[in-house]
Structure 1
Amino acid sequence: MNDLDEKDRLLLGALRADARQSLVELARHAGLSRSATHERVRRLEAKGVIAGYTVRLGADREAPGVQALVAISFQAGRNCDHVVPHLTGIPNVVTCWSLAGSTDLMLLVECASNAELDNVRRLVATTPGIATVQTHVALRTHFDRRT
């Protein structure tokens, strides 16, 4: 993303705020013509900078009852290639990040209850190649720029 110019950044910021904006609205925001805006958006999509468009759920959405970050360390000689394929089969694991440092993976887990989180944590802990699991339950969200 280092090759993005100011106009690309303006377009991305506008799309983050409202991905349903028309090309005319985006063009006005970035100070470009509609056709130039369309070409830039297509280029950003082709390069994978824009990976998709989504819907943000409002306050009335059915939010998970419990969100947790689960920190994982691998057994000696194990890595993401050994562990991640097993984790993709656990539907409550929403996101999986590789990390630098003493923690190898961080999972974002969403569950309906603490009991369900405990079951998911047990599934994760018994995954071949995992040495340690630490679970950090989110008490509240102060802000989330992804939503």
Structure 2
Amino acid sequence: MTELDDKDRLLLAALRQDSRQSLVALARHAGLSRSGVHERLRRLEAKGVVAGYTIRLGVEDKNPTVRALVAISFQSGKNCDHIVPHLSAMPPVVTCWSLAGTTDLMVLVECASNGDLDTIRRQISLIPGVATVQTHVALRTHFDRRD
């Protein structure tokens, strides 16, 4: 585990709030020099603590999105190598995690409608080697620390 000090935590908290902040604003927030912030961010990036800077489009207000977690179990003898390539070719599947336990994979699916979710769910169930598919629709986001 990468050791973070208080200044690193302050920088990460500030970036979570607004990843577009200037180095000067981040320096002010963390009580560091601009060059000190730049060096810390470079180190955090190199260690994989900061994996990228991104924007999240405000699509919820303009285009309602149906989000669901889809739990996938494999048929005997099948593994991620058989299933994941099919999932990665499906644009509505935005994230895929391997799990320990009775569920082999969990995917996050984002669609424009329940009908689109039903279509992608059916496509997943038809992937050779998939034994079961369980869909859990997200009703509301209470918080998201990825912001």
TM over 0.5: yes
Q: In the alignment, does 2:44 pair up with 1:44?
A: yes
Write out the 4+ residue segments of structure 1 that deviate beyond 6 Å after TM superposition: none
Contact 2:75 2:129 in 1 (8 A): yes
Distance in 2, Cα, partners of 1:92 & 1:38: 36
Contact 2:27 2:34 in 1 (8 A): yes
Gaps of 5+ in 1: none
| Aligned residue pair count | 146
Gaps of 5+ in 2: none
Distance in 1, Cα, partners of 2:56 & 2:110: 16
Q: Once superposed, what is the RMSD of the aligned Cα atoms?
A: 1.6
Distance in 1, Cα, partners of 2:23 & 2:70: 40
Q: CA deviation at 1:93?
A: 0.5
Distance in 1, Cα, partners of 2:62 & 2:38: 32
Q: In the alignment, does 2:133 pair up with 1:104?
A: no
Q: Which amino acid aligns with 1:108?
A: L
Q: Which amino acid aligns with 1:114?
A: N
Residue of structure 1 equivalent to 2:81: 81
Residue of structure 2 equivalent to 1:32: 32
Residue of structure 2 equivalent to 1:10: 10
Q: Secondary structure at the match of 1:132?
A: strand
Distance in 1, Cα, partners of 2:95 & 2:134: 16
Q: CA deviation at 1:145?
A: 2.7
Distance in 2, Cα, partners of 1:104 & 1:117: 20
Q: Deviations over 1:23-47 (max 9, x none)?
A: 1111122221111110111121222
Distance in 2, Cα, partners of 1:124 & 1:146: 26
Distance in 1, Cα, partners of 2:23 & 2:34: 6
Distance in 1, Cα, partners of 2:141 & 2:34: 38
Residues 61 and 12 of structure 1: CA distance in aligned 2, closer, same or farther (over 3 Å) = farther
Matches within 5 A, 1:121-140: 121-140=121-140
Residue of structure 2 equivalent to 1:141: 141
Q: CA deviation at 1:50?
A: 1.3
Residue of structure 2 equivalent to 1:60: 61
Residues 45 and 63 of structure 1: CA distance in aligned 2, closer, same or farther (over 3 Å) = farther
Identity %: 74
Q: Secondary structure at the match of 1:32?
A: coil
